[in-house]
Chain A
Amino acid sequence: MRMKRFFTLAAFAASILAATSHAGRADEYPSKSVTVIVPFAAGGNTDALGRLVAEELDKRLGQRFIVENKPGAGGNIGLGDLARAEPDGYTIGMGTVSSNAINQTLYKTLPYDKEKGFVPLSLIATMPNVLVVNADKLPVNSVQELIELLKKEPGKHTYASSGVGTSIHLAGELLANKAGVTMTHVPYKGSSQAIMDVVAGHVDFMFDNIPTAAQQVKAGKLRALAVTSLDQASLLPDVPTMASVIPEFEATSWHGIFAPPGTPPEIVDKLSKEVQAILHDPAMKAKIEGMGATPVGNTSEEFAQFIDGETAKWAEVIKAANLPLQ
């Protein structure tokens, strides 16, 4: 029975190896470097926020937090990798309104279990969109005037977006839905070409992320009608909120940090607390506000509740707009 003993030994050795490599206890976590998956390309908002937070975690926890960009399919590829990762706290990832609240409805199948989802750690920041019109093409000065115009000439006016099912597009659908108006949606690949065509007057209006749009507004190329957050935005202090015209109108893009399902609660707790502390640091706050975003830093439970609300809201809009499921 030499073979049998060999196998027993091998199994024993393997179990020791397994045990040592799974140093998953919270008091010694993290004992090695942690991977932070960003499911979007480098250079975007999600990437920038992810890197800012990872850098701080690095300093606070004394281990390397390495950002890995895994872009593709609206964030689904990176999140698929996150879902498959060992739930030991050594792989965490970023998520956004698109990847973690819209795609749940927009995609028929996701490369991970929709039911199990992810463990939310903390909401990092929200970023309002702003409704901008080309002042030469649309003679409107307020959201009310725009709605009246759209009601008078249904379907005649166009709005641009960064793609079907993006938060920018769905903000438009939400407007159509809540105000009972129809307009023609003109999707682009990404928001920069879209905003260019609005500036040039090929398309009439659009909702766009606030930092870039605010510059066009300041230069007088576009007219800002409203911001889509519930509070007014610091970058455009004179612009009213959509909610002041259409109650409860909120369409912000947000970025949060997640762990794979099944991550031990102690580790979730530890990471969540660290991220919250980071986001309440004044220097960090200033950095994020400089990007045109509002830092949040809430608890895992608050974030989970927030996501549930967002998912339900966008599911309704997607169904009402009758978007094709991917």
Chain B
Amino acid sequence: MLKIRNARDFAGGAAMIAISLLFIWFGRGLEVGNSFRMGPGYFPMMLSLLLIVIGASIIVQSLFVAAEDGDPEPANWKAYGLVIVAPVFFGLALSGLGLAPTMFAMIVAVGFASKYANWRQSILLATFMAVCSVLLFTRLLSLPVSAFGSWIPFLHAF
């Protein structure tokens, strides 16, 4: 009877197959052509098929070779959430709020992904980062982003 000896690799192999199916599905409109006249879809199609074979081999291997390290890993969902949402927030708020408030808010919030965070240090760090980034990026390197965005009416001009 076959049994999954390495659940992680089983999932990994399945993920690779899923990825290749995604590429095949979204590339279905691309012309494949043949080896002598390759179309835009040729390369992705061949790679996807290759990845399916590799994914399948990883699955097969997971049925026979047991995992070497099995120790469970702690999950820290709060940290994952904060760290992943932080850049998204940054991207959404940058043009409206401007660099300084966006950076400040993001640093304060993301700090709490760590359990050693405290308000005082976070606010100090965030202020430091906000000032630094404005000086460095908008003043010195003149990136096209204002320190205060259009959502902040009176400071916007600065």
Contacts and interface: CB of A to CB of B under 8 A. Distances in A.
The answer to A–B direct touch (Cβ < 8 A) is yes
A35 B144 contact: yes
Contacts, number: 6
A35 B142 CA distance: 12
A66 B142 CA distance: 9
A3 interface: no
B144 A68 contact: yes
Nearest to A69: B144
Interface residues of A, number: 5
Contacts of A17: 153
Interface in A202-217: none
Nearest to B145: A68
B124 to A, nearest CB: 33
Nearest to B157: A32
B144 A66 contact: yes
Contacts of B153: 17
Contacts of B142: 66
Contacts of B144: 35, 66, 68, 70
Interface string B36-68: 000000000000000000000000000000000
Interface string A69-80: 010000000000
Contacts of A68: 144
Nearest to B142: A66
A68 B95 CA distance: 14
A158 B153 CA distance: 59
A68 B143 CA distance: 8
Contacts of A35: 144
Interface in B105-158: 142, 144, 153
B158 to A, nearest CB: 12
Nearest to B156: A21
A252 B1 CA distance: 72
B41 to A, nearest CB: 12
Contacts of A70: 144
6 contacts: A17-B153, A35-B144, A66-B142, A66-B144, A68-B144, A70-B144
4 closest A-B pairs (Cβ-Cβ)?
A68-B144, A17-B153, A35-B144, A66-B142
